[in-house]
Structure 1
Amino acid sequence: MTGTILHLADVHLEAPFCTSGLAPTIGTRRRQELCAAFTRALTLAREQHVDAVTIAGDLYDGRYALPETGTFLADAFAALSPIPVIVAPGCADPYDDETSLYPLTRWPDNVTILSSTNSFTPVAVSPTLTVWGAAWRAEGPPELPQVAVTGDHRHLVLLHVGPAATGDASSGVPGVTPAALRAAGFSYALLGGRHAGGAWPEDDPWGCMPGSLEPLAPDEAPGRHGAALLRIAADGACSVDWLEVGCWRYAAVAVDLGACTTADEAVTQIEAALERGGVRADARAMVTVTVTCLPEDGLDLTDVRERVEARAHVTLRVERPFPYDLNQLAQEHTVRGLLVRRFRAASETGATNGAAPTDPALKRDALRLALRALDGKGVRPSEVA
């Protein structure tokens, strides 16, 4: 065995978590527990007796991190000594930013912050293992150096690839591909830049992205999240164990409330859907509950929303089927028909004259309420909330 490395990336300490409708107290709690997840990852490094910890960028959110964040990191890394920690700054925590914590923080002797964006810097982890890394730059990584492979000495690349290369796990990073790595003498790439992690690339793994420690947004729920434990054999073969350290997750459930007549029944239905979705009463989960059907006589969801919030951090959205056949109404010689025809004409005119776009769902909801009014039907409070 040549060596073992615990690899992290995209931690985003001090992330704002300012999703619309999310209480500030929840954002504070998530930031605190993100720090706790990071601490658990470093504990795993000690327990696994790794040769080094590598971090491929976006360790913190440079827009919001304060000097206290740098102090927290320095203390956490000092507790790992003598295990070396190698950090390649990313696009959210660039080294050359005027507010960067990297040059302003007093780091312990076991920490190496890679400051160069124009060339790869070698860091000797052991007599048989070297990590080559560079700080992120917008125009892409520097050219790979040619390294000499002698005996059982192995070389790894550490790099944050940034948002431009994160859309597809199978896509190549500009200038860094499995073929280029092999040709330059590297055994593996320790990468960051994709919050939903996994092997890189998927069809010919020659590296990994561990993903964020836990999902930071709903669209990041798929993929790996946590730490990657890399084992490098003497012949250069690399294997990865994926270690989970986070607590929070995102979930989405759908529920039909068409048969409910009271708020109590609606809460019971939603809680049953949450249970089926694996969300327990004490779960650290951000849940979107889509209501696919409401009773004909209506249901005030205000009380329901407040009572479900006590179980998990829930966003309640209603997906109402449109109750009118607009094509049929448009043929009527009635006020309703005139309303539909003018609504459609106004929508088409707005799309062609450069007017600011309006949410299509909002426009359809306005038309639905207008048609209900013409039919003499009342409007429930939950419909205009």
Structure 2
Amino acid sequence: MRGALPDQVLVAVSGGVDSMVLLDLTRKWATITGSPCRIHAMTVDHGLRPESTKEAENVHEIVRSMCLDHEIVRVPEKIDPKQLEKSARTWRYKLMYKKLELLHIDNLMVAHHFNDQLETFLIRLATNSTLFGLCGMRHVSSYPILDPFGSKRILRPMLDFRKEELYAYAREHNLEWFEDSTNYQPITLRNRVRRYLQTGQIDENTVEQLVLSVRGAVDDVESDLRQLDKEISVRFNSRLLKMSIVIPLAVFERFPLLSLDRFIFETLHCVSAISNYHHRYTTIDSKHATVNTNEWSLSEAILDRTVPEKFNLLKCLVRVVRSENNIHLLITRATEKFRQPVERVVNIASSWSEWELFDNRIWFRARGKPGSYTLKLEANGLPAFYHEGQFLCYPTISGCGFLEVQTMTKPMRIMQM
């Protein structure tokens, strides 16, 4: 572990050797550094095994013996066996997010380690992930559930350590842990990949070298992005929800098209209404960032003039304007066609409502005259409040006499997961 701990942290504790080592290290690091960090621990009981409830209770006793706060939370419904890993993960992060909110904590510590990283690489490779997916998990990343302030983070301090090192530490320090028997059953793709690595059917050293190579390539792109921030002009009007990007023609000659595509993709994030934006990079570039190429690159198409002057992309309307030295991209939200209108009924009270995300672009909360209001997307791409069929206001521009609204847009850059 490096550096100072936050004032508070929530540690995800499954009871396996990984999380028990993480909790022990965190507790000791706080003591060694004299940190005032308040450590909370949480166990999510997925209810997938008959013994899981008893194990969670045993974990509770162990953690409480360390004089740490601990809570067991059970998944409130049966997990879909057809999407076991995905459903369990979704519920786990959803329940832990509620705990973070309740305790006003911004940092969740999880026990992902190096072997998890290798498994993640192979799983994403099998699903034709992009270069940015193949680089794997980060030591610090944004929380996988959107929140209005974007302050929640996941910390993975053990990501560079191998499983056998964790076992060695646990034995040396007489830690108690529980083995999940389902980890060795071929019921999920991850379990099967883990088995291939353990039995040598896939060479671990080869995978490790591939992971390091991909990480290096992504580091190069991220270095380019920092430079492109200085050379490309980006303006976003948070009231009218319009964006302009001015790219000097010289930039196309000096930077790889992969880096330009990534810059455009990350910049469009706050305009796009796509709900799964993090997984839609191939919409921008499938030529330079994937193994199985479809020969498509937005920046290349712009440079070659093979893209039309107006086109829809990721629910954005993009207009290309060319000048002698620059290419201008004028971007607004694309108009919804032949679909149900984008709208929501909002119950307003005299006190502030909770923050809500509308149209996957706008966080809002409101207070005012109690009643039911309708927030819907107008043809101009702006959200508008109505009451009893009467237009009230565009909340991103202003409120009205008896309705006060606060809004925030998503960050311009997507956060790494």
Which TM-score band applies after superposition, normalised by the shorter structure?
under 0.3
TM-score (ref. length: structure 2): 0.24
* Structure with greater helix percent: 2
